[in-house]
Protein backbone atom coordinates (compact mmCIF):
# COMPACT_ATOMS: atom_id res chain seq x y z
CA UNK A 1 0.00 0.00 0.00
CA UNK A 2 2.74 2.38 0.95
CA UNK A 3 4.72 1.47 -2.11
CA UNK A 4 1.99 1.92 -4.70
CA UNK A 5 2.65 5.57 -5.44
CA UNK A 6 6.35 4.89 -5.81
CA UNK A 7 5.56 1.99 -8.11
CA UNK A 8 3.52 4.34 -10.28
CA UNK A 9 6.34 6.83 -10.41
CA UNK A 10 8.86 4.16 -11.30
CA UNK A 11 6.49 2.80 -13.92
CA UNK A 12 7.25 5.89 -15.97
CA UNK A 13 10.82 4.62 -16.26
CA UNK A 14 9.78 1.16 -17.45
CA UNK A 15 10.73 1.87 -21.11
CA UNK A 16 14.21 2.89 -19.99
CA UNK A 17 14.51 -0.23 -17.84
CA UNK A 18 13.31 -2.36 -20.72
CA UNK A 19 15.85 -0.80 -23.09
CA UNK A 20 18.67 -1.41 -20.58
CA UNK A 21 17.53 -4.99 -20.01
CA UNK A 22 17.36 -5.69 -23.76
CA UNK A 23 20.73 -4.11 -24.48
CA UNK A 24 22.44 -5.97 -21.65
CA UNK A 25 20.63 -9.17 -22.54
CA UNK A 26 21.79 -9.12 -26.14
CA UNK A 27 25.34 -8.07 -25.25
CA UNK A 28 25.60 -10.74 -22.58
CA UNK A 29 24.00 -13.37 -24.78
CA UNK A 30 26.35 -12.85 -27.70
CA UNK A 31 29.40 -12.55 -25.45
CA UNK A 32 28.49 -15.83 -23.79
CA UNK A 33 27.81 -17.43 -27.15
CA UNK A 34 31.17 -16.26 -28.46
CA UNK A 35 32.91 -17.69 -25.41
CA UNK A 36 30.97 -20.96 -25.42
CA UNK A 37 30.55 -21.72 -29.11
CA UNK A 38 33.43 -19.85 -30.78
CA UNK A 39 36.49 -21.81 -31.90
CA UNK A 40 39.54 -21.32 -29.75
CA UNK A 41 43.14 -21.64 -30.82
CA UNK A 42 45.52 -20.04 -28.39
CA UNK A 43 49.15 -19.47 -29.26
CA UNK A 44 51.65 -16.87 -28.06
CA UNK A 45 51.45 -14.91 -31.29
CA UNK A 46 47.70 -14.41 -30.94
CA UNK A 47 47.98 -13.29 -27.33
CA UNK A 48 50.27 -10.41 -28.22
CA UNK A 49 48.83 -6.88 -28.24
CA UNK A 50 47.65 -6.00 -31.70
CA UNK A 51 48.18 -2.51 -32.99
CA UNK A 52 47.20 -2.40 -36.65
CA UNK A 53 49.90 -4.88 -37.55
CA UNK A 54 52.74 -2.75 -36.22
CA UNK A 55 55.08 -3.88 -33.51
CA UNK A 56 54.02 -2.27 -30.19
CA UNK A 57 56.36 0.55 -29.15
CA UNK A 58 57.01 0.78 -25.44
CA UNK A 59 54.70 -0.08 -22.58
CA UNK A 60 51.03 0.90 -22.64
CA UNK A 61 51.35 1.43 -18.89
CA UNK A 62 53.42 4.59 -19.16
CA UNK A 63 52.34 7.79 -17.50
CA UNK A 64 50.35 10.32 -19.45
CA UNK A 65 50.67 14.07 -19.39
CA UNK A 66 48.75 15.83 -16.64
CA UNK A 67 47.07 17.88 -19.35
CA UNK A 68 44.67 14.99 -19.94
CA UNK A 69 43.57 15.35 -16.32
CA UNK A 70 43.16 19.09 -16.78
CA UNK A 71 40.91 18.51 -19.76
CA UNK A 72 38.90 16.02 -17.69
CA UNK A 73 38.34 18.56 -14.90
CA UNK A 74 37.34 21.26 -17.38
CA UNK A 75 34.92 18.81 -18.99
CA UNK A 76 33.46 18.05 -15.56
CA UNK A 77 32.92 21.76 -14.79
CA UNK A 78 31.10 22.48 -18.02
CA UNK A 79 29.19 19.20 -17.75
CA UNK A 80 27.79 20.34 -14.39
CA UNK A 81 26.97 23.73 -15.90
CA UNK A 82 24.92 21.96 -18.55
CA UNK A 83 23.20 19.84 -15.90
CA UNK A 84 21.90 23.02 -14.25
CA UNK A 85 20.51 24.23 -17.56
CA UNK A 86 18.31 21.17 -17.82
CA UNK A 87 15.74 22.13 -15.13
CA UNK A 88 16.00 25.75 -16.23
CA UNK A 89 15.08 24.88 -19.81
CA UNK A 90 12.17 22.81 -18.54
CA UNK A 91 10.83 25.75 -16.52
CA UNK A 92 11.74 28.54 -18.92
CA UNK A 93 8.15 29.31 -19.95
CA UNK A 94 7.14 29.47 -16.30
CA UNK A 95 10.10 31.65 -15.38
CA UNK A 96 9.35 34.05 -18.22
CA UNK A 97 5.72 34.53 -17.29
CA UNK A 98 4.69 37.31 -14.96
CA UNK A 99 1.44 36.99 -12.99
CA UNK A 100 -1.66 38.52 -14.49
CA UNK A 101 -2.64 41.96 -13.19
CA UNK A 102 -6.08 40.69 -12.32
CA UNK A 103 -8.48 37.84 -12.90
CA UNK A 104 -9.20 37.33 -16.56
CA UNK A 105 -6.25 39.42 -17.69
CA UNK A 106 -3.48 37.82 -19.73
CA UNK A 107 -0.17 37.03 -18.15
CA UNK A 108 2.85 39.08 -19.13
CA UNK A 109 6.28 38.21 -20.37
CA UNK A 110 9.20 38.68 -17.98
CA UNK A 111 12.94 38.38 -18.22
CA UNK A 112 13.43 36.86 -14.74
CA UNK A 113 14.45 33.42 -15.95
CA UNK A 114 16.64 34.86 -18.67
CA UNK A 115 18.54 37.13 -16.26
CA UNK A 116 18.94 34.29 -13.75
CA UNK A 117 20.67 32.09 -16.26
CA UNK A 118 22.52 35.03 -17.81
CA UNK A 119 24.24 35.77 -14.47
CA UNK A 120 25.11 32.11 -14.12
CA UNK A 121 26.50 31.86 -17.63
CA UNK A 122 28.44 35.16 -17.46
CA UNK A 123 30.53 33.86 -14.55
CA UNK A 124 31.22 30.71 -16.51
CA UNK A 125 32.11 32.74 -19.60
CA UNK A 126 34.71 34.42 -17.37
CA UNK A 127 35.95 30.91 -16.54
CA UNK A 128 36.02 29.99 -20.23
CA UNK A 129 37.91 33.18 -21.07
CA UNK A 130 40.43 32.37 -18.35
CA UNK A 131 40.89 28.87 -19.76
CA UNK A 132 41.29 30.35 -23.22
CA UNK A 133 43.84 32.96 -22.16
CA UNK A 134 45.84 30.37 -20.27
CA UNK A 135 45.89 28.25 -23.43
CA UNK A 136 44.58 25.23 -21.55
CA UNK A 137 42.36 24.23 -24.41
CA UNK A 138 44.30 23.61 -27.54
CA UNK A 139 47.38 21.46 -27.59
CA UNK A 140 50.72 23.22 -28.07
CA UNK B 1 44.94 -8.79 -16.14
CA UNK B 2 42.36 -8.84 -18.91
CA UNK B 3 40.52 -11.53 -16.97
CA UNK B 4 40.02 -9.07 -14.15
CA UNK B 5 38.75 -6.40 -16.52
CA UNK B 6 36.34 -8.96 -17.94
CA UNK B 7 35.27 -9.87 -14.42
CA UNK B 8 34.68 -6.17 -13.70
CA UNK B 9 32.55 -5.78 -16.80
CA UNK B 10 30.67 -8.96 -15.90
CA UNK B 11 29.99 -7.55 -12.42
CA UNK B 12 28.75 -4.32 -13.96
CA UNK B 13 26.42 -6.30 -16.20
CA UNK B 14 25.20 -8.27 -13.22
CA UNK B 15 24.35 -5.08 -11.34
CA UNK B 16 22.56 -3.63 -14.34
CA UNK B 17 20.74 -6.90 -14.83
CA UNK B 18 19.57 -6.79 -11.24
CA UNK B 19 18.42 -3.21 -11.76
CA UNK B 20 16.51 -4.23 -14.86
CA UNK B 21 14.99 -7.23 -13.10
CA UNK B 22 14.01 -5.02 -10.20
CA UNK B 23 12.42 -2.51 -12.54
CA UNK B 24 10.43 -5.29 -14.13
CA UNK B 25 9.46 -6.65 -10.70
CA UNK B 26 8.27 -3.19 -9.71
CA UNK B 27 5.41 -3.49 -12.16
CA UNK B 28 2.23 -3.40 -10.16
CA UNK B 29 0.57 -6.78 -10.32
CA UNK B 30 -3.01 -6.97 -11.45
CA UNK B 31 -5.55 -8.28 -9.01
CA UNK B 32 -8.72 -7.47 -7.19
CA UNK B 33 -7.00 -5.96 -4.19
CA UNK B 34 -8.28 -2.55 -3.06
CA UNK B 35 -6.90 0.10 -5.33
CA UNK B 36 -5.87 3.68 -4.79
CA UNK B 37 -6.36 6.47 -7.25
CA UNK B 38 -3.37 8.67 -7.88
CA UNK B 39 -3.56 12.00 -9.53
CA UNK B 40 -0.80 12.23 -12.08
CA UNK B 41 0.92 15.57 -12.20
CA UNK B 42 2.98 17.22 -14.92
CA UNK B 43 6.56 16.14 -14.66
CA UNK B 44 5.72 12.70 -13.40
CA UNK B 45 5.85 11.40 -16.94
CA UNK B 46 2.52 9.65 -16.67
CA UNK B 47 0.29 10.51 -19.58
CA UNK B 48 -3.04 9.48 -18.16
CA UNK B 49 -4.73 11.87 -15.80
CA UNK B 50 -5.38 9.27 -13.14
CA UNK B 51 -4.84 5.61 -12.84
CA UNK B 52 -5.94 2.87 -10.58
CA UNK B 53 -3.17 0.63 -9.59
CA UNK B 54 -3.51 -2.41 -7.46
CA UNK B 55 -1.61 -2.99 -4.29
CA UNK B 56 0.60 -6.00 -3.99
CA UNK B 57 3.71 -4.41 -5.51
CA UNK B 58 5.35 -4.16 -2.10
CA UNK B 59 7.24 -7.41 -2.63
CA UNK B 60 8.51 -6.21 -5.99
CA UNK B 61 9.71 -2.96 -4.47
CA UNK B 62 11.42 -4.85 -1.66
CA UNK B 63 13.18 -7.05 -4.22
CA UNK B 64 14.20 -3.92 -6.12
CA UNK B 65 15.59 -2.32 -2.97
CA UNK B 66 17.59 -5.37 -1.95
CA UNK B 67 18.90 -5.84 -5.48
CA UNK B 68 20.08 -2.22 -5.56
CA UNK B 69 21.53 -2.47 -2.05
CA UNK B 70 23.38 -5.62 -3.09
CA UNK B 71 24.64 -3.85 -6.19
CA UNK B 72 25.89 -0.88 -4.16
CA UNK B 73 27.69 -2.97 -1.54
CA UNK B 74 28.87 -5.52 -4.10
CA UNK B 75 30.37 -2.81 -6.28
CA UNK B 76 32.13 -1.30 -3.28
CA UNK B 77 33.49 -4.71 -2.24
CA UNK B 78 34.66 -5.23 -5.81
CA UNK B 79 36.55 -1.92 -5.68
CA UNK B 80 38.26 -2.90 -2.43
CA UNK B 81 39.38 -6.32 -3.62
CA UNK B 82 40.81 -5.35 -7.02
CA UNK B 83 44.49 -4.73 -7.54
CA UNK B 84 43.89 -3.60 -11.10
CA UNK B 85 42.81 0.03 -10.72
CA UNK B 86 40.80 0.18 -13.93
CA UNK B 87 38.80 -2.86 -12.81
CA UNK B 88 38.22 -1.11 -9.48
CA UNK B 89 36.84 1.94 -11.31
CA UNK B 90 34.42 -0.31 -13.20
CA UNK B 91 33.18 -1.64 -9.86
CA UNK B 92 32.77 1.94 -8.69
CA UNK B 93 30.59 2.67 -11.73
CA UNK B 94 28.42 -0.29 -10.70
CA UNK B 95 28.05 1.25 -7.24
CA UNK B 96 27.13 4.62 -8.75
CA UNK B 97 24.46 3.09 -10.99
CA UNK B 98 22.92 1.08 -8.15
CA UNK B 99 22.92 4.26 -6.02
CA UNK B 100 21.08 6.04 -8.83
CA UNK B 101 18.43 3.33 -8.64
CA UNK B 102 18.15 3.86 -4.87
CA UNK B 103 17.75 7.61 -5.41
CA UNK B 104 14.92 6.87 -7.80
CA UNK B 105 13.25 4.79 -5.10
CA UNK B 106 13.52 7.84 -2.82
CA UNK B 107 11.49 9.98 -5.25
CA UNK B 108 14.64 11.76 -6.39
CA UNK B 109 14.55 11.06 -10.10
CA UNK B 110 16.44 14.22 -11.05
CA UNK B 111 19.18 13.34 -8.59
CA UNK B 112 19.25 9.83 -10.04
CA UNK B 113 19.80 11.15 -13.56
CA UNK B 114 22.50 13.55 -12.34
CA UNK B 115 24.11 10.68 -10.44
CA UNK B 116 24.35 8.73 -13.68
CA UNK B 117 25.48 11.67 -15.85
CA UNK B 118 27.94 13.29 -13.47
CA UNK B 119 29.20 10.44 -11.29
CA UNK B 120 29.00 7.40 -13.55
CA UNK B 121 30.03 9.60 -16.47
CA UNK B 122 32.30 12.47 -15.55
CA UNK B 123 33.70 11.49 -12.13
CA UNK B 124 34.53 8.07 -13.53
CA UNK B 125 36.48 9.77 -16.35
CA UNK B 126 38.33 11.79 -13.71
CA UNK B 127 39.30 8.62 -11.82
CA UNK B 128 40.50 6.96 -15.02
CA UNK B 129 42.65 10.00 -15.83
CA UNK B 130 44.13 10.03 -12.32
CA UNK B 131 45.09 6.39 -12.78
CA UNK B 132 46.60 7.13 -16.19
CA UNK B 133 48.54 10.13 -14.88
CA UNK B 134 49.84 8.25 -11.83
CA UNK B 135 50.37 4.94 -13.61
CA UNK B 136 53.76 3.62 -12.64
CA UNK B 137 54.67 -0.04 -12.33
CA UNK B 138 56.51 0.53 -9.06
CA UNK B 139 53.48 2.21 -7.52
CA UNK B 140 52.31 -0.04 -4.73
CA UNK B 141 49.23 0.74 -2.67
CA UNK B 142 50.32 2.74 0.31
CA UNK B 143 49.36 1.07 3.56
CA UNK B 144 49.88 1.11 7.26
CA UNK B 145 52.82 -1.11 8.10
CA UNK B 146 53.90 -2.52 11.42
CA UNK B 147 51.88 -3.18 14.53
CA UNK B 148 51.33 0.47 15.60
CA UNK B 149 50.01 1.34 12.14
CA UNK B 150 47.66 -1.62 12.07
CA UNK B 151 46.44 -0.85 15.58
CA UNK B 152 45.76 2.75 14.56
CA UNK B 153 43.88 1.63 11.44
CA UNK B 154 41.88 -0.88 13.47
CA UNK B 155 40.92 1.75 16.04
CA UNK B 156 39.88 4.16 13.29
CA UNK B 157 37.67 1.52 11.70
CA UNK B 158 36.18 0.62 15.08
CA UNK B 159 35.40 4.28 15.76
CA UNK B 160 33.73 4.61 12.36
CA UNK B 161 31.69 1.46 12.97
CA UNK B 162 30.56 2.65 16.41
CA UNK B 163 29.53 6.03 15.03
CA UNK B 164 27.60 4.39 12.19
CA UNK B 165 25.76 2.05 14.56
CA UNK B 166 24.95 5.02 16.83
CA UNK B 167 23.60 6.91 13.84
CA UNK B 168 21.41 4.03 12.68
CA UNK B 169 20.22 3.50 16.25
CA UNK B 170 19.27 7.14 16.74
CA UNK B 171 17.25 7.54 13.55
CA UNK B 172 13.58 7.22 14.21
CA UNK B 173 11.83 6.33 10.99
CA UNK B 174 8.34 7.81 10.91
CA UNK B 175 5.48 5.78 9.53
CA UNK B 176 5.07 8.27 6.73
CA UNK B 177 8.61 7.78 5.50
CA UNK B 178 7.47 5.72 2.56
CA UNK B 179 4.77 8.15 1.49
CA UNK B 180 5.80 10.57 -1.21
CA UNK B 181 6.52 14.06 0.07
CA UNK B 182 4.21 16.86 -0.94
CA UNK B 183 4.36 18.19 -4.45
CA UNK B 184 6.02 21.51 -5.10
CA UNK B 185 4.02 24.49 -6.29
CA UNK B 186 5.50 27.31 -8.29
CA UNK B 187 5.35 30.57 -6.31
CA UNK B 188 3.28 33.31 -7.85
CA UNK B 189 1.83 31.02 -10.43
CA UNK B 190 -1.81 31.74 -11.05
CA UNK B 191 -2.47 28.28 -12.38
CA UNK B 192 -0.98 26.69 -9.24
CA UNK B 193 1.01 24.18 -11.18
CA UNK B 194 2.33 21.47 -8.94
CA UNK B 195 5.16 19.16 -9.73
CA UNK B 196 5.87 15.69 -8.45
CA UNK B 197 8.41 15.84 -5.64
CA UNK B 198 11.90 15.07 -6.81
CA UNK B 199 11.13 15.54 -10.48
CA UNK B 200 13.32 17.82 -12.58
CA UNK B 201 10.63 20.49 -12.65
CA UNK B 202 10.18 20.41 -8.87
CA UNK B 203 13.94 20.65 -8.28
CA UNK B 204 14.13 23.53 -10.74
CA UNK B 205 11.23 25.28 -9.06
CA UNK B 206 13.09 25.31 -5.76
CA UNK B 207 16.39 26.12 -7.40
CA UNK B 208 15.16 29.13 -9.34
CA UNK B 209 13.02 30.67 -6.61
CA UNK B 210 13.91 29.88 -2.98
CA UNK B 211 17.50 28.85 -3.64
CA UNK B 212 18.35 31.41 -6.28
CA UNK B 213 21.40 32.79 -4.46
CA UNK B 214 23.00 29.37 -3.89
CA UNK B 215 22.35 28.62 -7.55
CA UNK B 216 24.22 31.74 -8.65
CA UNK B 217 26.95 30.98 -6.11
CA UNK B 218 27.47 27.59 -7.81
CA UNK B 219 28.79 29.41 -10.87
CA UNK B 220 31.48 31.02 -8.66
CA UNK B 221 32.32 27.58 -7.29
CA UNK B 222 32.67 26.23 -10.81
CA UNK B 223 34.90 29.20 -11.68
CA UNK B 224 37.13 28.32 -8.73
CA UNK B 225 37.27 24.72 -9.95
CA UNK B 226 38.42 25.95 -13.38
CA UNK B 227 41.14 28.13 -11.83
CA UNK B 228 42.23 25.17 -9.70
CA UNK B 229 42.38 22.88 -12.73
CA UNK B 230 44.59 25.38 -14.56
CA UNK B 231 46.79 25.88 -11.50
CA UNK B 232 47.29 22.19 -10.77
CA UNK B 233 48.50 21.41 -14.29
CA UNK B 234 50.59 24.51 -14.90
CA UNK B 235 54.13 23.97 -16.17
CA UNK B 236 56.88 24.17 -13.57
CA UNK B 237 59.50 26.76 -14.56
CA UNK B 238 58.73 26.48 -18.25
CA UNK B 239 59.64 22.81 -18.15
CA UNK B 240 56.51 21.48 -19.73
CA UNK B 241 56.81 17.97 -18.40
CA UNK B 242 57.94 16.56 -15.12
CA UNK B 243 61.38 15.00 -15.43
CA UNK B 244 61.11 11.33 -16.17
CA UNK B 245 57.56 11.51 -17.45
CA UNK B 246 56.87 10.18 -20.89
CA UNK B 247 55.76 12.59 -23.56
CA UNK B 248 52.04 12.48 -24.34
CA UNK B 249 51.08 9.32 -26.10
CA UNK B 250 50.73 9.85 -29.83
CA UNK B 251 47.13 9.73 -30.89
CA UNK B 252 45.47 8.91 -34.14
CA UNK B 253 48.11 6.46 -35.20
CA UNK B 254 45.68 4.16 -36.85
**Same-domain check for residues B198 and B139:** no
**Same-domain check for residues B79 and B175:** yes
**Same-domain check for residues B146 and B187:** no
**Same-domain check for residues B216 and B175:** no
Nearest CB to A61; choose among B54, B135, B253: B135
For the ranges B30-34, B159-163, B200-204, which has the lowest average pLDDT? B30-34
With contact defined as beta carbons under 8 Å apart, do B186 and B209 qualify?
yes
pLDDT for A6: 64
* Residue B35 CA neighbour count, 13 Å, CB half: 13
Domain carrying residue B47: 3-180
**Same-domain check for residues B49 and B93:** yes
**Same-domain check for residues B61 and B172:** yes
Helical (H) or strand (E) element with B215: helix B212-232
Instruction: Give the domain ranges of chain A.
Output: 2-36, 66-133
Show residues of chain A in contact with B16, CB under 8 Å: 20, 24
- Into how many domains does chain B fold? 2
- How far apart CA A122 and CA B238 sit, in angstroms, is 32
Give the mean model confidence (pLDDT) for residues B167-195: 65
Give per-residue pLDDT as tens, B54-94: 344 567 778 888 999 999 999 999 999 988 888 899 999 99
pLDDT for B79: 93
**Same-domain check for residues B32 and B101:** yes
**Same-domain check for residues B175 and B185:** no
Query: A79 vs chain B: nearest CA distance in angstroms?
Result: 7
B248 touching chain A per CB within 8 A:
yes
- How far apart CA A75 and CA B36 sit, in angstroms, is 46
**Same-domain check for residues B7 and B62:** yes
| Regions of chain A with pLDDT less than 70 | 1-10, 60-61, 100-102, 106, 139-140
**Same-domain check for residues B189 and B126:** no
Nearest CB to A3; choose among B134, B178, B253: B178
- How far apart CA A78 and CA A82 sit, in angstroms, is 6
ipTM for the assembly: 0.70
pLDDT for A118: 92
**Same-domain check for residues B93 and B27:** yes
Instruction: Round the CA-based radius of gyration of chain B to a whole number and report it.
Output: 24
Per-residue pLDDT at B155 exceeds 80: yes
**Same-domain check for residues B71 and B117:** yes
The domain that holds B162 is classified in CATH as 1.20.120.1200
Amino acid sequence: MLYTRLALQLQAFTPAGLAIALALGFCGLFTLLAVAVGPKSVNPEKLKPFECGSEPIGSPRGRYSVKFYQVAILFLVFDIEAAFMYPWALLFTKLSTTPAAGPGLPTGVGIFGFVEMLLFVIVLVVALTYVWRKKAIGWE
Amino acid sequence: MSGRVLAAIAALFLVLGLVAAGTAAAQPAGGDAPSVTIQATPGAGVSTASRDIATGSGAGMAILFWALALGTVGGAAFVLTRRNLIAAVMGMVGTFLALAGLYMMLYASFLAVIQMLVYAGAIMVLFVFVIMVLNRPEDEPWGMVGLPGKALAGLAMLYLLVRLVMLVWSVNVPDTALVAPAAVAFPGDAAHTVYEFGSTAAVGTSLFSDYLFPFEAISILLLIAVVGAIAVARPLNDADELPGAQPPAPTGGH
